[in-house]
Chain A
Amino acid sequence: MTIRPATVALVLFFAATLAFFSVSAPRFATATNYENLMAGFSFVAILAMGQAFPILVRGIDLSIGAIVGLVGMVVFDLTLIFHVPGYVILPVALVVGMLAGALNGVLVVVLRLQPFIATLATLAAYRGLTYTISGRQLVPGLSTTPITDRWIVGIENYFDVGGWLGVNKLLAMPWFPLSFFIMLALFALFQTLVLATRFGRDLYAVGGNYEAARLAGINTGRVIITAYALSGLCAAIAALIMVARFTTATEALGTGSELTAIAAAVIGGVSLAGGIGSMFGPALGAFLLGAVLLGLTLQGVPQFVQQIITGAILLAAVGYDRLLVVRRQRRLAANLAQAG
């Protein structure tokens, strides 16, 4: 797997964005701001990486925001109503997210629903289920009771990396949130998964040419269901990070985060046509969006203008990718002409 020019462009654009805001936005180039960026957008990066799986198989998962809400509420109920210890809740939460995701895959594969429709339906269903099981309504008083289980709130933790490295005297290093390290670990895991394993190859094959993959004997159904299950898993991990950060879960937790995740994935060069992209782009795409939002807020740019700018970046990313494709084809044509 060679590094795609679009990835290089994304890294450069990210660096340029940081440089721009460091100069123009007050208090952007501070340890605190980078800490905010990592704490506020690591879970977005995780959602974006999760979203990349369904998109790679030419699907989409609109339900991840609802899965975040559902998993959050499951955690909420288990701790505050049933007093289940956190070390039991953590694996349960991951399984719930994975099952919710796998159900999306089953709807797509078995019932042959359009991914957009299937996950739009489960978005509504999961959100409805979240309201139904909400301990905030079932048990009076819980809506004002914070979660204190240290296995769960312990996820919201910060590490003085600069102190360990002994560079704090030279440089004000941000404290790194645990969620950032979770994101890094998932990135390493997923990047290996898509680039170096049989499953990864099957993923690209199914997304690149479904019929070819099927005729090559790939169990396309299993690949697609797994892709959605991984997306659900990432939503569950994001939910845990958010619950730890807020010490509670609301019924509306994660609402709309599917759109941010899709935007980050697309900005990160994952093609909505399937079969193109990796995990690096979506992760960086999420932090790019985060840096832009934080930078613009620090500059005092009104939020509706921020949304316009975010949309423009999304368009530019798609347009730039398109441009590279066209250019590559031209170059190829020129090479062939010379060779001929």
Chain B
Amino acid sequence: MDAPAILRGVGLTKIYGNLVALRDADFSLRPGEVRALIGSNGAGKSTLIKVFTGAIAPTLGRVEIDGVAAPLGDPSEMIRRGIACIYQHSNLAPAMSVLDNIFLGRQPTRRFGFVDSARQRREARALLERHRIAIDLDATVGNLPTVKQKEVEILKALALDARVILMDEPTAWLAASEVAKLHDTIRMLKTRAVGIVYISHVLDEIFAVCDTMTIMRDGRVIAESAVADIDRPRVVHLMVGEKLARESAEAAHEKRHPRGTGEIRMSARDLTKRGVFTEVSFDLHAGEILCITGLIGSKRTELLRTLFGCDRFDGGTLQIDGRTAAFASPTGAIAAGVGFVPEDRHREGLMLDMTMTENLAMATLDRFHRGLMLQRRRMSEAARQAIASLSIQPPDGSRPVKLLSGGNQQKVLVGKWLNRAPRILILDEPTVGVDVGAKAEIYRILRRERERGAAILVVSSDLEEVFTIADRIGVMVAGRLVRIHDADDCRLQDIVREIGGAAA
């Protein structure tokens, strides 16, 4: 590994107002190297990546490409120098076709600026073939499922013939088989001397595909190492520090409570929504966590939305506390004591521009008003308690939610329902894009709610998570809930086989 660095950051510092997001960080990447960039949310990884893509200019420091200082804060210059990025959140134009998105901003043109669509299509076909990706080039991106959209983002970077590809949690929305495919692609790119920066919270992936790692905490680079020279506990330890590491280890050995107190809170019988899910039946008990797992696209999210009244169902019955319920809207569900934490927190869960206090009070506004007037003081007080009990960082209720890290945003999202002390809490992928430390805290919160007697229904693709928190595990395949196991009585392999079984 003596090749000179292809990408180097020297003394990079980024200050937002009085928040130091990045503090004197050094970073280097050689051709053909896959370097993991890990750290808790808010550690400064995304800021570092944004400096490299030119999305932001650092307050101090410089970026060198092939030993030459690059202009800062200019995305087109970075692209010209061969730096591409796959972003955590979609960076596609939803109303445009896949083809247009792949070549966004750099369509091949003929005279007079006319797009050479024949050449564009030819190049895209070659690209698809080379990477064995099947996708309809003319499909409108906004109509594609999330997984396919991620593929388009990857194609976009690949089409650049980039020399450095920055991947900011590229697998957050991918199913296991697709992750493997992405890793194959990464290995192929490696042989072509492309340098890759790989951000992920899933340590399995990092140990599977990365050569080296840079660990960040609180805006600093705190460790660098070859993957071969380090083990997982050490990585977790470095990332989150002593205390949280211990809690997360203990969490795995919690006692399970299948069927909780035995009181049935929610009961579904042959619930059907034509073309989406079919004859779904289950009972959800007070004091238990029921996890439903399955491949992406197995309609778990749609099922949850229906249970919460966002969508209607066509057949079957749904009972809450023994009474038949067919919620016409979430309002009805909320009145019946149901809380829902959606998967896409940016789109469906949070008001990003509003403060933490306002977001936390969102589901309970009815309690904070006298007549028509909101009682701001009581709202702030309640928010302060919630922030403390959820240990949200920084503990400042007046801070806009968009400035929080992903993990803390998720805590706000969960916290807004906890104020209501829901009888039934439904969560969709509660820890996607959340770091290990925040994950442990969210698990702790869920367990606390369970002890309080809430019935909790979680949809998760992360089997590690499922086996950590579930009292019972349901497997959903292509719109059918095929089986529900007691978590103590089943093995990981069985679940994996069932998940894949009917879908193949």
Contacts and interface: CB of A to CB of B under 8 A. Distances in A.
Q: Do chains A and B touch in the complex (CB under 8 A)?
A: yes
B205 to A, nearest CB: 24
A336 interface: yes
B106 A217 contact: yes
A156 interface: no
B94 A275 contact: yes
A338 B105 contact: no
Contacts of A199: 113
Given A205-B105, A338-B275, A217 B79 contact: yes
Contact of A201 (B85, B94, B115, B302): B115
A214 to B, nearest CB: 6
Interface size class of B (residues with CB under 8 A): 35 or more
B91 A215 contact: yes
A340 interface: yes
A340 B296 CA distance: 10
Interface in A191-232: 196-202, 204-205, 207-209, 211-219
A165 interface: no
Interface string A296-340: 000000000000000000000000000000001110111011101
Contact of A215 (B53, B95, B143): B53
B29 interface: no
Given A198-B107, A216-B79, A217-B75, A211 B91 contact: yes
Nearest to A277: B95
Contact of A340 (B92, B97, B114, B297): B297
A144 interface: no
B243 interface: no
B188 interface: no
A208 B75 contact: no
Contacts of B109: 197-198
B115 A328 contact: no
Contacts of B94: 208-209, 275
Interface string B78-120: 1110000101001111111100100111110100111101000
Contacts of B106: 216-217
The 4 closest A-B pairs by CB, nearest first: A208-B93, A217-B76, A216-B105, A334-B275
B195 to A, nearest CB: 19
A29 interface: no
Contacts of A275: 93-96
B478 interface: yes
Contacts of B92: 208-209, 212
Contacts of B75: 214-217
Contacts of B479: 337, 340
Nearest to A2: B138
Interface of B: 53-55, 75-76, 78-80, 85, 87, 90-97, 100, 103-107, 109, 112-115, 117, 138, 143, 145, 156, 274-277, 297-299, 302, 478-479, 503
Contacts of A214: 55, 75
A224 to B, nearest CB: 14
Nearest to B103: A201
B476 to A, nearest CB: 11
A213 B87 CA distance: 13
A276 interface: yes
B143 A212 contact: no
Given A209-B91, A218-B104, A333-B302, A198 B113 contact: yes
Given A198-B113, A201-B100, A333-B276, 4 more contacts: A196-B117, A197-B109, A202-B105, A204-B96
Contacts of B275: 330, 333-334, 337-338
Given A219-B76, A334-B275, A208 B112 contact: no
B95 A276 contact: yes
A20 B202 CA distance: 64
Contacts of B503: 340
A218 B104 CA distance: 8
12 contacts: A196-B114, A198-B109, A200-B115, A204-B93, A205-B104, A205-B105, A207-B93, A209-B90, A218-B105, A275-B94, A330-B275, A334-B274
B23 to A, nearest CB: 24
Contacts of B298: 340
A337 B478 contact: yes
Contacts of B53: 215
B276 A217 contact: no
A162 to B, nearest CB: 35
B156 to A, nearest CB: 8
A196 B108 CA distance: 11
B441 to A, nearest CB: 30
Contacts of A197: 109, 112-115
Nearest to A193: B113
Nearest to A200: B115
Nearest to A215: B75
Contacts of B85: 215
A209 B141 CA distance: 12
B299 A337 contact: yes
B372 to A, nearest CB: 29
Given A216-B104, A218-B104, A328 B143 contact: yes
B93 A209 contact: yes
Nearest to A328: B143
Nearest to A208: B93
A198 B100 CA distance: 10
A340 B104 CA distance: 30
Given A218-B105, A329-B143, A337-B478, A205 B299 contact: no
B107 A201 contact: yes
Nearest to B77: A217
B297 A336 contact: yes
B93 A212 contact: yes
Nearest to B275: A334
B95 A204 contact: yes
Nearest to B479: A337
A276 B142 CA distance: 12
Given A198-B109, A218-B105, A332-B143, A213 B93 contact: yes
A57 to B, nearest CB: 12
A175 B248 CA distance: 82
Nearest to B53: A215
A262 B128 CA distance: 41
Contacts of A205: 93, 96, 100, 104-105
A212 B276 contact: no
Contacts of B90: 209, 212
Given A219-B76, A328-B143, A340-B479, A198 B91 contact: no
